[in-house]
Amino acid sequence: MEASKKINWTEKMNELGNARIPFLFILDFELKSPLIYTLDSVPFNILFKLNQIKNYTLSGTISKNLEFAKVSVSVDQYAGSFKSVMEELNYGNTFLINLTFPTEIITNYNLRELFNVSHAKYKLYFKDEFIVSSPESFIQIVEDKIKTFPMKGTIDASIKNAGNIILHDPKETAEHYTIVDLLRNDLSMVADNVRVERFRYLEEVHTSSKTLYQVSSEITGQLDPDYPGRLGDIFKAILPAGSISGAPKKKTVEIIDQNEICPRGFYTGIFGIFDGVNVDSGVMIRYIERVGDKLYYRSGCGITHQSDMHSEYNEMNEKVYVPVSRNN
């Protein structure tokens, strides 16, 4: 069942959760176009994978050489938004903000082919409009235990001592502390006994050209056994995801709206499944959308008062890649 203007998405999630009816949810960043489908009503042109749960069978093999070129926004255009964001940081209106831009990509693959060959924990193909190949979990709920996995910090794994460099970088460390604190506070609004189980551990992400290290943490809390009847309320309380917005969240989202060149839409929203018992969901990053006859890759990075404009611009462009793997 698809959400409509007559149906409040939080109420619909609560209703389906309370009835223990499995459903797929796709929630855009601004929460203007939320979608909810019972699993027996998911359209044929929506394909999803959440860890081991998926509704498709594809080869996952590359049938032709992947051509992939980037047409990034200019340094000057990025610098204008960066300067404005830095002013907000200096005024104390935000402590951390995720600034994102679209990058046009030129490739010999269409969206369906890119979806086929990409490898990620969380994958979504949506009606030939956009695809997601995300390494980042949002929340998981298993046996009444809720978990979230904020991801902040990326480095080329081929750099000598790359893991040590990023784990000891002052700017990256401060940024990660801020996000972990924000997500811990978010979970505390919906769960008890919230704690950080793992702090700043490395995960490998394989791309079409290199291997990256990304830094994640794990935060957990305890829900009441009747939590499925409050699923919509739980997601409403903790959205948008802190790792792709910033802190403090409400004001930072306003600054994002003022300084990014286009609305995010489904980019940096979240999607997931309630299987009747448990929940798994991912953040919609590593996102490619079709606009007319062109493809755009959306990417960004966290900005703090310690940020260097050129470094952040380069990091944003480094995140434009296809996570190709031999299996998916």
* Mean pLDDT, 10 residues at a time, the chain of 328 residues: 62 98 98 96 97 84 83 96 97 96 96 92 97 94 94 81 86 85 95 94 75 87 96 97 93 97 97 97 97 96 93 92 64
Number of folded domains that form the chain = 1
Asked if the structure places residue 45 within a domain, the reply is yes
What global pTM score does this model have? 0.90
Asked if the structure places residue 273 within a domain, the reply is yes
pLDDT for the residue 209: 67
CA distances from 17 to 9, 36, 180, 236 (A): 12, 12, 28, 14
Residue in this structure with the two tokens 């309380």, named with its chain if needed: 237
Asked if the structure places residue 328 within a domain, the reply is no
Asked if the structure places residue 244 within a domain, the reply is yes
Asked if the structure places residue 327 within a domain, the reply is no
Domain that holds residue 50: 9-318
Asked if the structure places residue 3 within a domain, the reply is no
Return the CATH number at 205: 3.60.120.10
CA distances from 20 to 39, 49, 95, 157, 283 (A): 12, 21, 40, 43, 24
Q: Give CA–CA dist 13/24, Å, rounded.
A: 10
Q: Give CA–CA dist 284/131, Å, rounded.
A: 9
Residue in this structure with the two tokens 């970088």, named with its chain if needed: 169
For residues 61 and 113, the answer to whether their CB atoms sit within 8 Å is: no
Q: Token pair for residue 186?
A: 């978010």
Which stretch of DSSP H or E encloses residue 194?
strand 192-206
pLDDT for the residue 62: 66
